[in-house]
Amino acid sequence: MAENLYIPEISGPLRSFMLKVPEEIQQASGIRVMGKLIKSIVFTTDICIIRNVNADAVIAVYPFTPQPIITQAIMSAADIPVFTGVGGGLTQGKRVVNLSMHAEFQGAIGVVVNAPTSNDVVRQVCDTIDIPVVVTVISEHEDIESRLEAGAKIFNVSAAGKTTNVVREIRKRHPDIPIIATGGPTSESILATIEAGANAITWTPPTNGEVFRDIMNAYREGKPHP
């Protein structure tokens, strides 16, 4: 196959203004989930951003008790696959299992459980739903093997400054396990995370307020929309 294959790009004049994930993410291998190749994953629950970003998928986790109506709103608006949070921190036990089943019925491509989720709950969720269970990893001290035995299909590494090291350690012990990881704020940190073994990268977009700030500054100076 020819290298550097040209990819035609088509966009309308009104939709050409959108958020774009860092180009470096394209160097990741990607994870094929339910037939869809996913390299870039936007971390947001904002449906305006979800509808105006070129990421391959969404990871919709938030710091409150998961509610099916929130998942439904995101699923209804999204035109890309959604990994949705189902708890595991404040929300535990049977409720996580029920939320996972509901998320599958709503159309989620995968469910994400927080690091405090017990292996027993992970196992129950895996036995209940058909879509993959994504387990969040926050440090190098977690027992990855027990997570795999419980049925985890994908790891989501979010270990702040230690993310690259955690990814590298998981990849060393498990060459084939799919890994999603936060890429950090720079091109160098994204590439380092991919080099460490991440298959897909999560990207935190600017907020609506930050995007609006640049637009309004241009308007105040009598300039057109950026």
All structural domains of the chain, each given as residue ranges with its CATH number in brackets, are: 23-220 (3.20.20.60)
pLDDT given at position 118: 95
Token output for 46: 């904002």
C-beta of residue 140 within 8 angstroms of C-beta of residue 115: no
Spell out the per-residue pLDDT of the chain, length 226, in tens: 456 788 898 888 888 889 999 999 999 999 999 999 999 999 999 999 999 999 999 999 999 999 999 999 999 999 999 999 999 888 889 999 999 999 999 999 999 999 999 999 999 999 999 999 999 999 988 999 999 999 999 999 999 999 999 999 999 999 999 999 999 999 999 999 999 999 999 999 999 899 989 899 888 988 888 8
- Residue 59: helix, strand or coil by DSSP? strand
Q: What is the pLDDT of residues 162-184, one digit of tens each?
A: 999 999 999 999 999 999 999 99
Task: Region of 151 please: left (phi>0), alpha (psi -120 to 50) or beta.
Answer: left
Length of the chain as a residue count: 226
d(CA 91, CA 39): 29
Q: What is the pLDDT of residues 126-169, one digit of tens each?
A: 999 999 999 999 998 899 999 999 999 999 999 999 999 999 99
d(CA 30, CA 50): 20
